[in-house]
Amino acid sequence: ETGVTQTPRHLVMGMTNKKSLKCEQHLGHNAMYWYKQSAKKPLELMFVYSLEERVENNSVPSRFSPECPNSSHLFLHLHTLQPEDSALYLCASSQSGTSSRGRGEKLFFGSGTQLSVL
């Protein structure tokens, strides 16, 4: 266990559904991340939160909406997704050093949510 917990582990949803992915870290970190991993593609960074402030949004479609209510919890709200959004969504956390932007210290990953959009 890495100290980063993601739920649910698997999710199947229709294109008109609204669902949320949850991530919780128990490591006392101050930065959290959402990554997307598709089969045969490398990781894609979606969002970065540092000290509960979104500091990076890598041109992610608005049907993905992140929320970081506190430094331990991160959500990814999903609505009107497309079949091509089917992927593994990974949450990660890190402890930012001198930078307040939460960049790049050692990342601890959750196990991911395998999402299938029908």
Partner 1 sequence: AQSVSQHNHHVILSEAASLELGCNYSYGGTVNLFWYVQYPGQHLQLLLKYFSGDPLVKGIKGFEAEFIKSKFSFNLRKPSVQWSDTAEYFCAVFSTDSWGKLQFGAGTQVVVTP
Q: Which residues bind partner 1 (CB under 8 A)?
A: 9-10, 33, 37, 39-40, 42-43, 45, 48, 88, 90, 97, 99, 103-107, 109, 111-112, 114
3-class DSSP state for residue 85?
Answer: helix
Compute the least distance from the CB of residue 113 to partner 1, in Å. 10
The H or E element spanning position 109 is strand 108-109
Compute the least distance from the CB of residue 103 to partner 1, in Å. 6
Of the two residues 45 and 60, which places its CB atom closer to partner 1 in the complex? 45
**Alpha-carbon distance 39 to 47, whole Å?**
20
Alpha carbon distances (Å) from 27 to 39, 43, 44, 92: 29, 23, 23, 11
Establish how many alpha carbons lie within 13 A of residue 2's alpha carbon, considering only the half-sphere containing its beta carbon. Answer: 19
Of the two residues 60 and 107, which places its CB atom closer to partner 1 in the complex? 107
Of the two residues 82 and 99, which places its CB atom closer to partner 1 in the complex? 99
**Alpha-carbon distance 10 to 30, whole Å?**
26
Of the two residues 33 and 49, which places its CB atom closer to partner 1 in the complex? 33
Compute the least distance from the CB of residue 77 to partner 1, in Å. 22
Compute the least distance from the CB of residue 45 to partner 1, in Å. 6
